[in-house]
């Protein structure tokens, strides 16, 4: 019985790996095997910069996540909220696919309900139940990468939501269901 359970587990793990390989392009998949995942952020509103490793030796690093969470906080309320580590994974893969390391410019990271409501009143483009309020979204730019190329590459990840805002020169990325606008 134990032997058949182990074989079944191996089989199911293999299927899961094949599923992931079929969804994530080869170059991006290779980035997941990197021994370290590191991101650099520049918050356009606070002028804060941070570079932090958030993944090493097969696990997320609490100190790195905390540093990234802080720079992605709701600066209007000075409220830090945990950011979904999958969002950092998406950003890491996105940069890898673009062949672009360096700072990711944060336009909007976490938003408190109070800030989200204020922005909703000022603009019709802010969702009532925004993923920003769950720590699952970022609005970003990548210096040296045209926003059109950033959008196209983000769509190729087939992971989460991707919004294209060419007139405001940014792309929205979230860890919700795959969709685009």
Q: What are phi and psi of 86, to 5 degrees?
A: -65, -30
28 occurs within a structural domain: yes
Residue 125 sits in which domain range?
A: 24-180
Specify whether the CB–CB gap between 65 and 78 falls below 8 A: no
1 occurs within a structural domain: no
What tens digit of pLDDT does each residue of 104-114 get? Answer: 999 999 999 99
pLDDT at 32: 56
10 occurs within a structural domain: no
- The structural domain count of the chain equals 1
- Residue 95 to residue 173: CA distance in whole angstroms: 13
67 occurs within a structural domain: yes
13 occurs within a structural domain: no
Q: What is the CATH number of the domain that holds 69?
A: 3.30.1380
pLDDT at 31 over 60: no
Give the C-alpha distances (Å, rounded to integers) separating 25 from 39, 43, 163, 180.
20, 29, 21, 19
Mean pLDDT of all residues belonging to the chain: 86
- Residue 106 to residue 73: CA distance in whole angstroms: 10
5 occurs within a structural domain: no
69 occurs within a structural domain: yes
pLDDT at 13: 42
**In the chain, what's the furthest Cα-to-Cα distance?**
63
Give the C-alpha distances (Å, rounded to integers) separating 160 from 33, 77, 96, 104, 149.
21, 27, 17, 18, 17
> In which band, very low, low, confident or very high, does the pLDDT at 35 lie, cut at 50, 70 and 90?
confident
% pLDDT > 90, the chain: 73
């Amino acid at each position: 019985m134990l032997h058949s359970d182990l074989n079944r587990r191996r089989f199911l793990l293999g299927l899961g790996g094949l599923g992931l390989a079929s969804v994530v392009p080869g170059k991006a998949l290779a980035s997941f095997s990197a021994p370290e995942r590191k991101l650099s952020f520049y918050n356009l509103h606070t002028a804060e910069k941070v570079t932090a490793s958030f993944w090493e030796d097969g696990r997320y690093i609490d100190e790195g996540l905390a540093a990234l969470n802080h720079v992605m906080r709701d600066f209007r309320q000075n409220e830090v909220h945990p950011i979904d580590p999958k969002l950092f994974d998406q950003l890491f893969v996105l940069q890898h696919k673009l062949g672009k390391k360096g700072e990711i410019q944060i336009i909007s990271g976490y938003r408190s309900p109070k800030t989200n409501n204020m922005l909703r009143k000022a603009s019709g483009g802010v969702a009532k139940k925004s993923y920003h309020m769950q720590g699952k979204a970022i609005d970003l730019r990548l210096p040296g990468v045209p926003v059109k190329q950033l959008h196209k590459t983000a769509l190729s990840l087939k992971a989460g939501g991707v919004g294209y805002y060419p007139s405001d020169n940014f792309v929205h990325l979230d860890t919700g269901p795959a969709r685009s606008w």
